[in-house]
Structure 1
Amino acid sequence: MDVDGFWAMIERSAQETGTRAERLAWLEERLSVLPAEEIVDYKTWWTIAANRGCSWDMYAVYWALMGSGSSDGFEYFVRWLISLGREAFETVADCPDATIDLPQVQHVLELERSFLRGYRRVTWSKDGKFRLTRLTQHRREIWTREERPAFELMGYVTFEPYRKATGLETDSLGDAVRAWGVESKFPLPDVSRGA
Structure 2
Amino acid sequence: MDKTEFWNLVGRARADVAARAVPAAGSGSGAGSGGPGSQGAGERGGAGRPDTRAVADRLAELLAEQPAERISAAQQTLWDLMAESYRAPLWAAAYTVNGGCSDDGFDYFRAWLIGQGREVFERVVADPDALAGLDAVREVAGSWAELECERVLGVAWDAHRAATGEELPPTWSVRYAPLDPDWSFDFDDEREIARRLPALAALFFDDEPDGTDGSDKPDGTDETDEPDGTAEGDGTGDAAGRTDDRAGTGAAPEEDGGAR
**C-alpha distance after superposition, 1:111-131 (max 9, x if no partner):** x2xx5xxxxxxxxxxxxxxxx
Structure 2 residue corresponding to 1:69, chosen from 76, 84, 101: 101
CA RMSD of aligned residues (A): 2.5
**C-alpha distance after superposition, 1:151-181 (max 9, x if no partner):** 11111011122234455433x2xx3223xxx
SS of corresponding position for 1:177: coil
Structure 2 residue corresponding to 1:152, chosen from 142, 150, 157: 150
User: In 2, Cα distance between the equivalents of 1:38 and 1:51?
Assistant: 20
User: How far 1:191 moved relative to its partner?
Assistant: 4.1
Give the share of equivalent positions with the same residue, in percent: 28
Contact 2:53 2:149 in 1 (8 A): no
* TM-score with structure 2 setting the length: 0.52
- Give the match for residue 251 of structure 2: none
User: In 1, Cα distance between the equivalents of 2:90 and 2:54?
Assistant: 28
- Give the match for residue 118 of structure 1: none
Q: Where does structure 1 lack aligned partners over 5 or more consecutive residues?
A: 116-141
Contact 1:39 1:162 in 2 (8 A): yes
SS of corresponding position for 1:13: helix
Bigger share in helix: 1
User: In 1, Cα distance between the equivalents of 2:2 and 2:78?
Assistant: 11
Bigger share in strand: 1
Contact 1:28 1:157 in 2 (8 A): yes
**4+ long deviations beyond 4 Å:** 164-168
Q: Where does structure 2 lack aligned partners over 5 or more consecutive residues?
A: 22-50, 180-225, 230-235, 238-260
More displaced stretch, 5-14 vs 81-90: 5-14
User: How far 1:21 moved relative to its partner?
Assistant: 4.6
User: In 1, Cα distance between the equivalents of 2:147 and 2:62?
Assistant: 24
- Give the match for residue 12 of structure 1: 12
Write the mapping of 1:96-175 to structure 2, written as runs, cut at 5 A.
Answer: 96-109=128-141, 112=142, 115=143, 142-143=144-145, 148-165=146-163, 168-170=166-168, 172=169, 175=170
Structure 1 residue corresponding to 2:67, chosen from 35, 59, 72: 35
User: In 2, Cα distance between the equivalents of 1:88 and 1:21?
Assistant: 17
- Give the match for residue 87 of structure 1: 119
User: How far 1:34 moved relative to its partner?
Assistant: 0.8
Is 1:46 the equivalent of 2:46?
A: no
* TM-score with structure 1 setting the length: 0.67
User: In 2, Cα distance between the equivalents of 1:99 and 1:20?
Assistant: 16
User: How far 1:101 moved relative to its partner?
Assistant: 2.5
**C-alpha distance after superposition, 1:51-105 (max 9, x if no partner):** 1211111111111111112111111111111111111111011222222233332
Structure 1 residue corresponding to 2:172, chosen from 173, 177, 191: 177
